[in-house]
Structure 1
C-alpha cells in the first residue's frame, strides 16, 4: 500500500509495523475477547508525526484506531471485525512528561505516558496525581482520558475527566487543537476538551494533557471490614463520610470473591476469617501527618459495630499490610479469570441505590441461572458496582456466553431503571454498542452523531466503536 510505504519512510520502518508477528499484540484485547488485525501498526513519536500520519490516512481514506496501553475491557483499541481497512495508531513512543509545576499543582504529560510514571513525577515534587486503578502500571494517559477511566479514588477526586485542565488533540484531518492551557477558569465558549474525554478516539487523537495534581498524602489509614449486607455497608459509608476524615476510597465486595482471591491470588492474605457475606475496604487520608486518622477510623468502626453494621474489622498497621489489602481488589480480575469464564458488567447507580441494586440483581440472576455464581464488587462510594455471573465448574467460555449472555442486559436494565448507567468507567468500545442502542436517550444519540459527523464526516476515526 503506497500510503504505508510513505509512512514507513516518514516514521521509520521500525515504527510502521506490517509483519504478522509484530502486529499480533495489537490485534487482541487484554481479556482475549476482541480480535481484529490491522493493516499496520503506526508508532509516531511526536505531535507533528501524529498530524502527518492522520493527514496521510485521511488522504488515502484509511481508518485509524488509536491505542495506548491496551488495558481496556471493551475492545475500544482493537480493529473492529468486518470493518473497513484500518491501521492502529499506537501512542507508546509519546511518553514524555513535558512539564511539572508544583506551585501550580499541574503537569503536562504526553498520551503515551504510563499512569504510574505520571504518579511518580507528581510524587517527586511532593504532589499526588490521584487517578488510580489496577492497570496503572501499563495503562497510558491517552487511553485513560479517552475512556474517562475511573478507579478507586473517584469518590474523592472524580474520574479522569475531572483531573484534566487542557488537551492537545490531533483532528481527523491532521489539524492540531492546542488547548493545553492550565487555567482553572475559562468561560470562552464551549469546553472542547470534554468532547475528546470519553470520546474513545472517535473524534481525534489525544497527544498530550495538562493534568491536575493535589497535595501529597502524608498520612493514610486503611481498613478491611466484614459487614452483613450492602445496606450495612452504606450505613458505614455515611459514618465515615461524617467522621471528619478525608475518605478517598470505599469498596464493596461480596464474600465469594474473597474465596476466589484466596484460592487464586499469589501470596495475598485475607486480613479477616472468611465467612462474612460482604466485605468493605475503606481508606482515609490527610495531607498533614498530625491529623488523627487512626482515632477517627477506630471510633467510626466502633460505633458501626455497636449498631451491628460491622461484624469484624482489621486496620492496616503498616504499608505492607495496606498494600496487601489493596492487592485483594486490584488482583481480582486476574484471580477471577483463573477461576472461570464469566459474563461481566460495568454499571453505576446513585450511591443510595446500591443495596437495592445488589438485591435485585442477585434475585434476577439466581432465578434465571441458579447454576451460576454471582460476583459483585466495586466502588460503592461512587455507586459503581461490577457484577459478573461466573460459570459453573467445567463450562467453557463459549458455552457460557451462549447460555448466559443475556445476564449483562438484565443487569444493565436494573441499573438504568434505578437511575444509573450501563457503562460506569470502562467505556463503550465494541462491547456496549448494543446497550447504547437500547438504553441511551435517543436525543443524546442524535446529538452525538451530529458531533461525530461535524468533526469526522468520513467516519475514519475508530470505526465500529461507541455509536450504534
Structure 2
C-alpha cells in the first residue's frame, strides 16, 4: 500500500464512517478479478459510498493524494474495464450501495436510478407502474445501471430501442475534480454546448463517476410472442428478418444461434431442451411484442412464419405456447457464454459490421480462422439485426493451460484484422476495458486516439479515473 492510499483510506474512514471503507482482504478478493477470470488485479481497499456527496468527497481525497480510482458496479463486464491494476496502485470505488430508484414518472416517461441499481430491479419498478425499461441482457440480475451507462451496453432489444446511449436522457456524475455534473432534467432539447452526458456514456469511468441516470421508459408489454426457427444459413436468417420487418413493426428481438452453440447449451446447462425436433445449421430466436392488449401478436407471428416457410426463408419454426416456454427459449440464448465456459477455453470477440455484410462475414471469417489455426472452432451468435455478433473462437484440440497466451493474441489479431477490413468495430457493446486496449491502439485511426487522449487529459489531468482502460 502506498502512502497516498493509506492517507486516502484513513481520511475516508474518519470522514465517512466504517460502512464506506472495506479493507478486509477476504471481502475485497471477489471483486479484483474480471467476470471471466482472465484478468486479476489487487487493491488495498474498497470504498463504497452511499450518496453522490460521499462520492464527491472520495474523489476530492483521491485527487489530493494522487490515488487512482476504479469505479465498479456489478463486475459483470466482458472487457475487464472494472478490474483494478495488478500492482495494487488503485482503490476500488464500489457503487453498489447507491442503489435507490429516486423516481419513476409516468407523465415524463422517465426513471431516475442511482448507479448501483440492478437492472432487474429497475425492470420491476417500471413494471409496477405499467411502464418498461426496454434494455435487457443475460446479466440483468447482477449488472448495474452505472455500469450499463459507462459501457454503453446493448443487449437484445437494440434492434428496436437502441443502445444505452439512446435510452439515457441524462446523467449525474462526479467529475475528476470532485465537482458534480447534474444532467438529470431529461430535457429533449438542450443546446448548451458539448454534451457532458454523451461524453460520460461509454467512457468506462475514465472521465468521471456516474452516480445516477435518467432513463427513458416505454409502455409496458401487453403481450409477447417468442418463436424459434431453423434456417439454412445466416443469409437466410437476415432474409427472414427483412421479411418480417416489411410486414410488422412488432419485432424487437432477433437473435442468431448456430447449431454448435445450441449443442453446447443442451450439453452443459441443466433443464434446457431443443426447441425444434430436427437439427438445423442455424437457428433464430424471435420476440415480438405489443402494448395494445387487443392485438393477438402470437397469431400475427404465426401467420408471418407460415408465410416465411412457404417463401423458403425458414426450414421449421415453433412459437412458445406459454411464458415458461418463452423463457426456456431465451434461457438457451442467454446461456451460450456459460456453456462455452463449461466446455473449455474460449476467445470472445464482440464485433460489429454493417448488417448487410454480417451473414457473409460470419461464414467467411469462421472458415478463415479455422484454416489459419487448425483445430480451433469458430462461430458467431447474437444480435444479427443490429450488426453485432459475438464471434467466439474455442480452443478445440488446442486446449492447454497456456492457450490464451500462446495463441490467443494471434487469433484475436487475426479476427480483428478481418473486422477492420470489413469496415467494422472490434467493440460493439462490451467496451474496450483492458482486454482490447492494445488492439484498439493498433487499429484505431490517429484522429480517434488523439481526440480520446485530449478529452481524457482535459477532464482528468491527474489521471486518477480508471487508469489503463479505454484510452491507449
TM-score by length of 2: 0.96
Query: What are the ranges of 5 or more consecutive residues in structure 2 without an aligned counterpart?
Result: 1-5
CA distance in 1: counterparts of 2:289 and 2:421, whole angstroms: 35
1:467 counterpart residue number? 471
Q: 1:274 to 1:411 in 2, by over 3 A?
A: farther
Q: Deviations over 1:28-85 (max 9, x none)?
A: 1111111110121100000000000000010000001000000001111111235x71
CA contact (8 A) 1:245 1:285 kept: no
Shift of 1:153: 0.4
Q: 1:296 to 1:417 in 2, by over 3 A?
A: farther
Q: 1:236 to 1:401 in 2, by over 3 A?
A: farther
2:58 counterpart residue number? 53
2:47 to 34, 42, 54: 42
- Write the mapping of 1:190-339 to structure 2, written as runs, cut at 5 A: 190-339=194-343
Secondary structure in 2 matching 1:73: coil
CA contact (8 A) 2:362 2:379 kept: no
CA distance in 2: counterparts of 1:326 and 1:155, whole angstroms: 16
Q: Do structure 1's residue 189 and structure 2's residue 193 form an aligned pair?
A: yes
RMSD: 1.4
Q: Deviations over 1:331-374 (max 9, x none)?
A: 11111100110111000111111111112211211211231122
CA contact (8 A) 2:376 2:397 kept: no
CA contact (8 A) 1:259 1:274 kept: no
CA contact (8 A) 1:114 1:140 kept: yes
Q: Deviations over 1:99-121 (max 9, x none)?
A: 11011110100000001111111
Give the ranges of 4+ consecutive aligned residues of structure 1 lying more than 6 Å apart after TM superposition. Answer: none
2:9 counterpart residue number? 4
Which of 30-39 and 89-98 deviates more? 30-39
Secondary structure in 1 matching 2:170: strand
Which of 401-410 and 446-455 deviates more? 401-410
CA distance in 2: counterparts of 1:152 and 1:401, whole angstroms: 32
CA distance in 2: counterparts of 1:295 and 1:399, whole angstroms: 49
CA distance in 2: counterparts of 1:218 and 1:187, whole angstroms: 37
CA contact (8 A) 1:343 1:401 kept: no
CA distance in 1: counterparts of 2:417 and 2:337, whole angstroms: 24
CA distance in 1: counterparts of 2:56 and 2:349, whole angstroms: 36
Q: Do structure 1's residue 17 and structure 2's residue 26 form an aligned pair?
A: no
CA distance in 2: counterparts of 1:430 and 1:397, whole angstroms: 21
CA distance in 2: counterparts of 1:214 and 1:141, whole angstroms: 17
Q: 1:208 to 1:36 in 2, by over 3 A?
A: same
Which of 4-13 and 337-346 deviates more? 4-13
1:30 counterpart residue number? 35
1:450 counterpart residue number? 454
Secondary structure in 2 matching 1:279: strand
Q: Do structure 1's residue 367 and structure 2's residue 371 form an aligned pair?
A: yes
CA contact (8 A) 1:252 1:280 kept: yes
Q: 1:189 to 1:394 in 2, by over 3 A?
A: closer
Shift of 1:274: 4.8
Q: 1:321 to 1:179 in 2, by over 3 A?
A: same
Q: Do structure 1's residue 437 and structure 2's residue 437 form an aligned pair?
A: no
